[in-house]
């Protein structure tokens, strides 16, 4: 079980080579397959996630949630997707057409790119980058541009307000997010995600870095545009914020991307703080799925409990609270490492 997926990959490569392909071509085909698999898994996972989110919301609000279509309403999301696919695709007359049309595509591409470096099991990162964490943060921040594109291209004041909020919010929360991860990097001594997981085989970093975990969690919620930080959408004040003018599948793509981001950020949280794929008895890839889903459930719990924070409070919270805390955390971590080294550990 442990190496099930790896064995499949190896078998495929050797089969391709035996067909007379050069190893370079075999690798290329394998990489394409890996990406296709990732995209498939993401799409399928989002279907489950939307169902789960609605079920969690239903549970918290003392109602049933989707329950009509299929067992436990599992097919509800599929039906919704089909409905969205058949909807009319409206492009506002005064919109900046190309920016408007490409924004959701870029958004989903950026979201999928994040998965390249996350180790989904032992030796199971698609690209085992040396600077994996750095890559994750820099690609993750690109999604701001897509929201800005959507807001600007729509030529709608609500959309623009949503987009401007999103930019302000992401820039402010990018910093505590990166700072909170620095502590982990300092202990692990590497930016490579697999190496960071390997460094946790004795002790999860959530125990060594509790403050970093909390700051990461808050900053990540803001990065994800999820409640209580869902400023760009802000349904109750900005109608649907940056997504106001979008219809049908274009609109759905934004949601697909947001849930994809949710999985990626939760997977990163479990990789960096909860020991990633480390765990007894079960195969490594099951462990990371379990941990990722646990983190996602906490995100959902937050979203369905809290009201939305106000924009200026959000900014001052980041600059006056989160950033100082994460800086102090870095100092403490550095001092702790130095102290322990001095003790001869």
Partner 1 sequence: MFETDQYTINIGPQHPSTHGGLHVEALMDGETVVDAIVHLGYVHRSVEKIAESRTYTQFIPYASRLDYLASHLPTLGYVQAVEKLTGVEVPERTEYIRVILAELSRIASHEVFVGSLAIDLGATTGLIYCLRDRERIMDMFEMSSGQRLITSYMRIGGISYDLPDEFFPAVKSFLDNIPRMIDEYTGLISGNEILQARCQGIGILTAETALAYGVTGPNLRASGIAYDIRKVDPYGVYSRFDFEVPIGERGDCMERLIVRIKEIEQSGRIIRQALEQMPAGEVKDKVPKVLKPEKGKEVYHRIESSKGELGFYLLSDGTEKPSRVHVRAPSFVNLMVLPLISRGCKLQDIIANIATLDPVLGESDR
Q: Applying CB under 8 A, which residues contact partner 1?
A: 57, 60-63, 157-158, 161, 165, 227-228, 230, 234-237, 239, 304-313
Ranges assigned E (strand) in the chain: none
Nearest approach, Cβ of 228 to partner 1 (angstroms)? Answer: 6
Nearest approach, Cβ of 154 to partner 1 (angstroms)? Answer: 14
Q: Which is nearer to partner 1, 29 or 302 (CB)?
A: 302
- Exposed e or buried b per residue across 73-107, where buried means at least 16 C-beta atoms within 10 angstroms of its C-beta: bebbbeebbeebeeeeeebbeebeeebbeebbebb
Q: Which is nearer to partner 1, 110 or 147 (CB)?
A: 147
Q: Which is nearer to partner 1, 91 or 309 (CB)?
A: 309
Q: Which is nearer to partner 1, 45 or 169 (CB)?
A: 169
User: In angstroms, rounded to a whole number, what is the distance separating the alpha carbons of residues 308 and 221?
Assistant: 12
Residues in the chain: 345
Nearest approach, Cβ of 236 to partner 1 (angstroms)? Answer: 5
Q: Which is nearer to partner 1, 164 or 269 (CB)?
A: 164
Nearest approach, Cβ of 240 to partner 1 (angstroms)? Answer: 9
User: In angstroms, rounded to a whole number, what is the distance separating the alpha carbons of residues 308 and 228?
Assistant: 4
User: In angstroms, rounded to a whole number, what is the distance separating the alpha carbons of residues 197 and 47?
Assistant: 28
Nearest approach, Cβ of 163 to partner 1 (angstroms)? Answer: 13
Residue 322 near residue 215 (C-beta atoms within 8 A): yes
Residue 331 CB partners (closer than 8 Å, separation 6+)? none
Q: Is 320 helix (H, G, I), strand (E, B) or coil?
A: helix
Residue 125 near residue 131 (C-beta atoms within 8 A): no
């Amino acid at each position: 079980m442990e190496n099930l997926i790896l064995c499949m990959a190896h078998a495929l490569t050797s089969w391709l080579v035996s067909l007379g392909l050069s190893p370079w071509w075999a690798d290329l085909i394998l990489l394409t397959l890996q990406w296709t698999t990732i995209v498939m898994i993401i799409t399928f996972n989002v279907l489950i996630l939307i169902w789960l989110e609605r079920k969690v919301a239903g549970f918290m609000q003392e109602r049933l949630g989707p329950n009509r279509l299929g067992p436990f309403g599992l097919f509800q999301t599929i039906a919704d997707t089909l409905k969205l696919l058949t909807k009319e695709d409206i492009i506002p007359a005064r919109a900046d057409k190309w920016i408007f049309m490409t924004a959701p595509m870029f958004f989903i591409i950026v979201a999928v790119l994040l998965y390249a470096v996350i180790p989904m099991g032992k030796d199971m990162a698609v690209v085992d980058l040396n600077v994996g964490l750095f890559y994750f943060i820099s690609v993750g921040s690109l999604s701001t541009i897509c929201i800005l594109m959507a807001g600007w291209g729509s030529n709608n004041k609500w959309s623009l307000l949503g987009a401007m909020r999103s930019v302000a919010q992401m820039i402010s929360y990018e910093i505590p997010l990166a700072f909170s991860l620095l502590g982990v990097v300092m202990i692990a001594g590497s930016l490579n995600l697999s190496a960071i997981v390997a460094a946790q085989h004795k002790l999860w970093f959530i125990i060594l870095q509790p403050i970093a975990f909390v700051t990461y969690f808050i900053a990540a919620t803001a990065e994800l545009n999820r409640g209580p930080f869902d400023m760009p959408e802000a349904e109750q004040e900005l109608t649907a914020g940056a997504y106001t003018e979008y219809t049908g599948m274009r609109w759905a793509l934004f949601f697909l991307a947001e849930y994809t981001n949710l999985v990626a950020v939760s997977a990163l949280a479990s990789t960096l703080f909860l020991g990633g794929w480390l765990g007894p008895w079960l195969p490594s890839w099951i462990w990371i799925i379990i941990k990722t889903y646990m983190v996602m459930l906490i995100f959902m719990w937050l979203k369905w409990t809290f009201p939305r924070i106000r924009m200026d409070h959000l900014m001052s919270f980041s600059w006056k609270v989160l950033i100082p805390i994460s800086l102090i955390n870095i100092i403490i971590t550095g001092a702790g490492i130095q102290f322990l080294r001095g003790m001869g550990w």
